Amino acid sequence: MYSLPVIALQNYDRKKEIKTFVDINSKQQKIDVNLILLLKADLEWKENTKEQKEKIAVGVSQELDNSFLRNRVYFGRADEPKGSKITLSTLVSALVGNNQIQDTVSKTSKKIKEIFKLIQENIPKYAFQEEGYFGGNQGIRVLFRLLYLYQRNTDVGRISISKEDFIKNLGKIMDKDTINEIDILYGEGRFFKLDNYLHY
């Protein structure tokens, strides 16, 4: 359910109209970016535009919320508690920014669910529950960046390893110290150095 207030003014004199306009726009509450993404996904966009990719990412996020993430995505709807949920904006940014978007929601969703299934099977301790590393905003951002690095290195022939083995190897090095160091690298914008963690 969306909550979007709309105000229509009729028969206002110009001075009162200007004052009302200023009052509304100087005191208005900013619309939640997650809700904006959700609303924009209801519109039609040209193919290969950023908006179309975001629309697909929203659809994938909704499917993940009904499967692996189990109602842990925050969409910004009216009266929806945010808590420690993964935000829709985080998922959309991670999917679009790391080249995970395919032609359709179903193709993208299939690809992401295959990866999530591998993680759940091979790294259950860090999977998608609230207390798991990949169950929070930072973990999701890191995960999709790692997937991007894996795909990029595979495409140029730098590495030759299946996704399953890649996830298994990731599981072997995942511990508190590694997570802390990854978070530091993420914060410093030095994500290319995460290649050092991938023991092929």
What is the pTM (predicted TM-score) of this model?
0.79
Predicted local confidence at residue 2, as pLDDT: 54
Instruction: Say if CB 71 and CB 81 are below 8 A apart.
Output: no
Residue for token digits 């920014």?
A: 97
Predicted local confidence at residue 16, as pLDDT: 78
- Domain hosting 45: range is 14-197
Residue 190 has pLDDT above 80, yes or no: no
Structure tokens at 87: 């935000």
Q: Tell me how many domains the chain contains.
A: 1
| 139 lies in some domain | yes
Predicted local confidence at residue 7, as pLDDT: 67
| 1 lies in some domain | no
Residue 88 pLDDT class (50, 70, 90 cuts):
very high
| 6 lies in some domain | no
Q: Please choose, from the candidates 38, 51, 27, the residue with its C-alpha nearest in 3D space to the C-alpha of residue 3.
A: 38
| 97 lies in some domain | yes
Residue 15 has pLDDT above 60, yes or no: yes
Distance CA 11, CA 94 (A): 47
Which of 43-52, 128-137, 146-155 shows the lowest per-residue confidence on average (mean pLDDT)? 128-137
| 101 lies in some domain | yes
What does the CA dihedral 122, 126, 130, 131 come to, rounded to 10 degrees?
A: 140
| 103 lies in some domain | yes
Residue 27 has pLDDT above 80, yes or no: no
**Arithmetic mean of pLDDT, 18-32:** 72
